[in-house]
Amino acid sequence: MIKTIAGTKDTLPIEIYKWHYLENLVRSVMKEFNYKEIRTPIFEETALFSRGIGESTDIVSKEMYTFMDRSETSLTLKPEMTASVVRSVLEHSLDKQQQLNKLYYISPMFRQERPQAGRYRQFHQFGAEALGASEPSLDAEMIILAYDVLKKLGLKSLDIKINSLGIPESREYYKTLLKKYLSDKTVHLSDESKKRLDTNILRIFDSKDETDQKIMEDAPLLLEHLDNDSLEKFERVKELLLLAQVPFEVDPRLVRGLDYYTNTTFEIISNSVGSQSALCGGGRYDLLANHIGDRNIPGVGFAAGIERILLACENENCLSINDENPYVYLIRLNKELVKETYNIGLKFRRAGISVELDYLNRSVKAQMREANRLNTRKALFVGGDEYENGEVVLKDMDTGDQEIIKISQLDGIIKKIKG
């Protein structure tokens, strides 16, 4: 038996309604905020991600699916979308056609991480990127947008954490302070954090090692060493969140796993899933376009993990109603009415009403059982004396009420059902 690769999974028909519901919700909220969908290829030149996300990040140094194709080009399955979206905006000069481009996506991503609940090797994100303005109102919009989607799903147990990483100049100065603070504690740090001292010192805040965490408790904080402009922008983001009644907490220890961030960063954490609790992460990346392309385009965005969100929904009992069942089940009472029943079904289907009927020559009792199993709202009985009189019987499966309908008036009924 050939099976799925570890860290990947099939989405089966029984659970697909949740994906559809979430995807439809994302599309409608994105429309409300005027974001347009963008789709980019599944694989790109490796340099896009290594340069964009940063060589020393976990994603680039350990997790990318990179391979040589037959023409010896190094390709990588996209581990995230931001670099691809920025590449696409630059390549198609979208920034020259209109100053601000507000874009969204729903797409699979690939990272070779150790699989566990909520952590996969192929996973799916929805996200948004706004390119062309450095206004803090867009930073706040990203947080509000992501939060609105999660709230509309019915999730309750959410924490929003925000931070500012400032600009490279203030960050460089701060890194020297942090290095100084850690200089006499290096021996106690974990091996991973020792490596990060030179490659990505801020990420030591993210260490899961208890001694590391203790050491970092008293470390100087970047937020206390920001330049005035970054501080002012951070204040504006906070004001707008308060105005939007979006609850948040400033977490000066929040550092993200990607190198391109400047100023605002944020995460939305769920308390109802296990250790993989970040449902969503994002922030501003004003220098990324220049880094991978030839011009400056300020940007801000977020991405949210769909599998993790659905896990949180399951644990909080949201999204439990499957509304994708057929509306009507046609029950054929006489075996010889196969063609007639089939044709009535077709009429419903062509009028846009979801119908199921029997293909297995089942008994009336078994057809009834099937209608119950599918949880249809109505059952339509075709056959018996009524059919002789040119009639069918429509039964409401909730109330049990029955209505006798002339077959010649079926069009009227279809119209009534469609409302």
Footprint of ligand HAM (CB under 6 A): 80-82, 111, 113, 119-120, 123, 125, 127, 129, 257-258, 278-283, 285, 301-305, 307-308
Q: Which residues contact 64 (CB under 8 A, 6 or more apart)?
A: 46, 49, 50, 76, 77, 79, 110, 111, 112
Alpha-carbon dihedral 294, 297, 298, 301, rounded to 10 degrees: -100
Of the candidates 113, 62, 110, the one whose C-alpha atom is nearest the C-alpha of residue 84 is: 110
Minimum separation from the CB atom of position 218 to ligand HAM (A): 27
Comparing every residue's Cβ against ligand HAM, the nearest one is 305
Which residue number, 41 or 390, has a Cβ lying nearer to ligand HAM? 41
Is residue 169 a contact partner of residue 136, using CB atoms and an 8 Å limit? no
Which residue number, 258 or 355, has a Cβ lying nearer to ligand HAM? 258
Q: What is d(CA 282, CA 271) in angstroms, rounded to the nearest whole number?
A: 19
**Going edge to edge, which strands form the sheet with 66-68?**
43-45, 74-77, 66-68
Cα 57 from chain centre: 22
Which residue number, 312 or 382, has a Cβ lying nearer to ligand HAM? 312
Going by the DSSP 8-state scheme, the letter that residue 61 receives in this structure is I
Residue 161's identity, in one-letter code, is: K
Minimum separation from the CB atom of position 205 to ligand HAM (A): 15
Minimum separation from the CB atom of position 158 to ligand HAM (A): 12
Altogether, the residues listed in the chain come to a count of 419
Q: What is d(CA 73, CA 361) in angstroms, rounded to the nearest whole number?
A: 56
Residue 257 exposed, middle or buried by CB count within 10 Å (0-12, 13-18, 19+): middle
Beta strand 402-406 pairing with 101-110: unpaired
Minimum separation from the CB atom of position 381 to ligand HAM (A): 48
Minimum separation from the CB atom of position 7 to ligand HAM (A): 8
Minimum separation from the CB atom of position 308 to ligand HAM (A): 4
What is the CA angle 78-83-89, rounded to 5? 120
Minimum separation from the CB atom of position 268 to ligand HAM (A): 8
Alpha-carbon dihedral 387, 392, 398, 400, rounded to 10 degrees: -50
Minimum separation from the CB atom of position 240 to ligand HAM (A): 18
